[in-house]
A and B are shown apart, each in its own frame.
Chain A
Amino acid sequence: MSDGTTASAPVAETGAPREQWSGQLGFILAAIGSAVGLGNIWRFPGVAYENGGGAFLIPYLVALLTAGIPILWLDYAVGHRFRGAAPTAFRRLFKPAESLGWFQVAISFIIATYYAAILAWALAYAWFSVDLAWGDDPAGFLFGEFLKASDEVTVGFDFVPGILAPLVIVWGLALVIIASGVKRGLERANLIMIPLLVVMFGSLVVRAVTLEGAADGLNAFFTPDWEALTDPSVWVAAYSQIFFSLSIAFGIMITYSSYLRRKANLTTTGLVVGFANSSFELLAGIGVFATLGFMASQAGVPLAELGSIKGIGLAFVAFPQILSTMPGGPVFGVLFFGSLALAGMTSLISILQVVSAAFQEKLGLSVRQAAVFIGGIAAIISILLFSTTTAVPLLDTVDDYVNNVGIVLSAVVMCVLLGLVLRKLTELQGHLNARVGVNVGAWWKWLVAAIVPVVLGYMLISHAVELVTKGYGDYPSWFTTAYGWGAIALSVVASVLFAILPWRRPVDDFVPDALPELASTGRRSA
């Protein structure tokens, strides 16, 4: 590839040089760390099982190749070409689009506040695993002794010291990492935590597949139900799983790719990150279902009759129940909850970086100032709202609305705006192809501008209609309106307000790299 096809980059007159990853490995590990989170461990196995078992592999792979990796490449192209966190990058692309960037920042801010709380639970449970503190009633222990959950669905400020302590530890660690910057903080943390996560979770899977009944669990997980493929909801579940799992369309990958060197390989690294994320999900499926098979064999019931196979119920009720009955339960427990905490932490710091980087750029803050002020505000809100007796319904509600409405809306708007309104996909395709890596063809533009908006638009509308007509869960409508729709409304308002604020650093005197002449055809110059 010719090096002479790119124009020299403008250098800002003020401010420190933009941070960067020390190399490709640092970026890839950080991007994998962001993608591999709690959902890989506690969501994918259950979703696959409920949607066709082994047959789910087909829609899952189709979704990965037609939506996951294409949007990942789109995020990379936007962040790398326009060199900034989401608001900066979108503004440089099209000034009014800065609001979309702030919407993604607001969504990240909200997610960080409750995601940290779940990490705190995982950290506490790693400690509880040592002596299997939940005894023979894990559900009672979780909601009674540990969370001290109120029966009332409201928001109160009755703090629970057992949650407060680990939550403060989680926030302390996360803010120290963010305050240490991209290379010394994010990169170093992921360099330690990702290999550790793989070793810990790998050990857990090896132990799990040797448990009595593991084969029954794996049978349930992998045996295909071909009829499921004719059910549209199975395909939606596959797109949904891929979409939520890859950390796409809410600013993370835009921010992370903005720290890559100018000639970085974007497309092949995207493939590595996408397949690494799915590889971990497959590993999690094997580990979780082998363990559930053991649980079913101990209880003498078919696996289908087990209660919780997803989410909080799986991690904090079913797994503790299993740990109490299995040989070496405390060690297995530390590995499981330690893995959850590690996977969660690498994702949490990526979410926080979206917020931190955006404010660094807009308000001219240093890395440490942004970590202390902006991260500190997130930490205080998180502690105030989610270390209380009323945390569970709030967390549950905000999580559903912010993910299924907020992030999906952000993705649809991004694809429609870039693909159909501004018609920027040819430029972004040219940017991807002006670097070494997999050559991106015109098919990518079709996927981003047509297939992804249709699939995600369907997901968005159907979920929103369900929320409006049926509400969410068993919660009262005033509660879901105030805190579910309220979170979305707050994000919209914040996106407008922050876009109006004046920039404290130059942002508009930016000229993106010139593209090779052949970029208009999507082909790389020789």
Chain B
Amino acid sequence: MTGTAILFLLISAAIIWGGLALSIVRLRRDGGADEGQAPHDL
């Protein structure tokens, strides 16, 4: 592979896969639903 292609592969991976990793870390930190509460009925 050329140096430019490798650079863009790395940049793409860092932004997109890195973005996914950061989102997951943020989600784990934020937490989610209150598990004890049921959603309301229709």
Contact = CB atoms under 8 A, between A and B. Distances in A.
A324 interface: no
A437 B16 CA distance: 20
A16 B2 CA distance: 60
A23 B33 contact: yes
B39 A9 contact: yes
Given A223-B4, A268-B30, A276-B20, A20 B12 contact: no
B17 A282 contact: yes
A327 interface: no
A287 interface: no
Which residue, B6, B26, B33, has most C-beta atoms of chain A within 10 A?
Answer: B33
B31 A219 contact: no
A507 B42 contact: yes
Interface stretch (A159-167, A258-266, A332-340, A373-381): A258-266
Contact of A57 (B5, B11, B32, B33): B11
A219 B30 contact: no
B20 A20 contact: no
Nearest to B10: A222
Contact of A262 (B17, B27, B34): B34
Interface residues of B, number: 31
> For the complex, would chain B's binding face be called helix, strand, loop or mixed by DSSP majority?
helix
B32 to A, nearest CB: 4
Contacts of B1: 215, 218-219, 222
Interface in A14-34: 15-18, 20, 23-24
A11 B39 CA distance: 9
A223 B40 contact: no
B37 A223 contact: no
A218 B8 CA distance: 10
A20 B30 contact: no
A500 interface: no
A17 B5 CA distance: 54
A54 interface: yes
A166 B41 CA distance: 38
A265 B8 CA distance: 33
A248 B2 CA distance: 37
Given A279-B17, A436-B31, 4 more contacts: A15-B41, A53-B8, A261-B37, A263-B34
7 contacts: A24-B32, A83-B40, A218-B1, A224-B4, A263-B37, A272-B24, A505-B42
Interface of A: 3, 9-12, 15-18, 20, 23-24, 53-54, 57, 61, 83-84, 88, 215, 218-219, 221-224, 259-265, 268-269, 271-272, 274-276, 278-279, 282, 286, 361, 436-438, 505-507
